[in-house]
Amino acid sequence: MAVTDIATRTYDHNWRLDPIVRSLLDTDFYKLLMLQMIRHLYPEVPVTFSVINRNHSIRLAEEIDEAELRAQLDHARTVRFTPKELIWLAGNTFYGKTQMFSPDFIAWLKDFQLPEYDLHKVNGQYELHFHGPWTHTTLWEIPALTIINELRSRAAMRGQGRFALDVLYARAKAKLWGKVERLQALPDLVISDFGTRRRHSFLWQRWCVEALKEGLGKRFIGTSNVLLAMDNDLEAIGTNAHELPMVLAALAKTDDELATAPYRVLEDWRAHYDGNLLIALPDAFGTTAFLERAPDWLAEWTGFRPDSAPPIEGGEQIIRWWQSKGVDPKSKLLIFSDGMDVNSIEATYRHFHGRVRMSFGWGTNLTNDFRDCAPFETDRLDAISLVCKVTEADGRPAVKLSDNPEKATGEPAEIARYLRIFGNEGRHAAAVRV
């Protein structure tokens, strides 16, 4: 007897769309940590986030249908935090700490809605901006990226037969498991999923996360995706992002204020969080400049997340800085999260093993590596370097310099001003694939 769930099939026939954003928890954990602080300290600041496609040759507006994109963005605006989700946020332990989120913040989330979006087609690309209070626009970053990336995957697979798709995913699974088997050879590995924003699709990320949980056991410490953490009883992983120093820098009224913005944001952070959340992101305006002027107290923090320098050089630079402060790196943590894949994880692990604590945030190459997997001709399943960045705060342009000039964002005149203040030392261009 063939068994068909008629109600499900009937529902499927008639759905309006297959939603990409199914939950507001389908975001990176650091967004919520940052949001709690933003709401506390900067509740009125208007901040614009903008989607930026660093791969100019990929003409997204020709690959993704505008009506579908609007339907998905509109759908995301209908999603709310559910009672179950808020109860979990309130009652769960994060980084060993209960009540990470205040009751007041949880109550505020209850009515949260993603604000309006501003979408135009320009020269084969989408201009997609989110204007509004920082407390609201900040939560667009991840849904905006997951929607565009998944719509692009769907478009690449549209019209393919059942077997072509079956083989595609079979190869992708075989490929990922080959990576898992290589990582199993690293006994002290500490790794987490950072792949939400660039994922091929929600369902594929979920498979990847479940695969790492099964394949790596306790070496897999969790996922940045809050929804997947909740559903799979994994740790939610993450601390803070470039948007904090970028907004603080944009708000600075003088060059002196700009120069100290990266440290003021850390003071803010320290006032809200402690322990393993005391991780500094040194590269917003160049790691060399950041470390040179960094206050001594920063050496007491748990560690750093170098995010744009090559991992070994970037790690060595930070270790030298710790040593210059008389701190033993063995007790410190480096989190590597910039375009990592098995080769660079192995090399970095072997290079630093025994000298410093390490953790890897595995992103795009975990959740969107379909190279050589399709049994049909396409290059549209290759991940692209899509970001959603602060472009304006309180009417003033925002800038990211990064250790890699290819990852810099902002208006040229303003970038030049930041370079005058922070310097260009230690910055090296490298191709950005993801």
Q: Which residues bind a second copy (CB under 8 A)?
A: 3, 5, 7-8, 161-164, 166-167, 169-174, 177, 181, 210-211, 214-215, 375
Cβ proximity to a second copy: between 126 and 169 the closer is: 169
Cβ proximity to a second copy: between 102 and 160 the closer is: 160
The answer to whether 27 and 223 are in contact (CB under 8 A) is no
Cβ proximity to a second copy: between 215 and 397 the closer is: 215
Cβ proximity to a second copy: between 14 and 98 the closer is: 14
> Shortest CA distance to 393 belongs to which of 265, 292, 281?
265
**Minimal distance in Å, beta carbon 227 to a second copy?**
14
Instruction: Specify the 3-state DSSP secondary structure of 231.
Output: helix
Cβ proximity to a second copy: between 65 and 231 the closer is: 231
**Minimal distance in Å, beta carbon 172 to a second copy?**
8
**Minimal distance in Å, beta carbon 11 to a second copy?**
8
Cβ proximity to a second copy: between 124 and 161 the closer is: 161
Cβ proximity to a second copy: between 51 and 172 the closer is: 172
Cα 307 from Cα 20, distance rounded (Å): 27
The answer to whether 245 and 266 are in contact (CB under 8 A) is no
The answer to whether 349 and 186 are in contact (CB under 8 A) is yes
Cα 419 from Cα 264, distance rounded (Å): 19
**Minimal distance in Å, beta carbon 150 to a second copy?**
21
**Minimal distance in Å, beta carbon 173 to a second copy?**
4
* 391: enclosing H helix or E strand: strand 386-393
**Minimal distance in Å, beta carbon 168 to a second copy?**
9
**Minimal distance in Å, beta carbon 84 to a second copy?**
13
The per-residue b/e assignment along 262-278, b for 16 or more CB within 10 angstroms, e otherwise, is bbbbbebbbebbeebbb
> Shortest CA distance to 238 belongs to which of 205, 192, 300, 307?
192
Burial (0-12, 13-18, 19+ Cβ within 10 Å), 287: buried
Cα 67 from Cα 126, distance rounded (Å): 12
Cβ proximity to a second copy: between 142 and 186 the closer is: 186
Residue type, 346: E
**Minimal distance in Å, beta carbon 233 to a second copy?**
16
Cα 366 from Cα 344, distance rounded (Å): 13
Cα 433 from Cα 420, distance rounded (Å): 28
**Minimal distance in Å, beta carbon 375 to a second copy?**
6
Give every strand in the sheet of 396-397, ordered side by side: 118-122, 125-130, 47-53, 386-393, 396-397
**Minimal distance in Å, beta carbon 154 to a second copy?**
21
The answer to whether 311 and 338 are in contact (CB under 8 A) is yes
Cα 71 from Cα 224, distance rounded (Å): 26
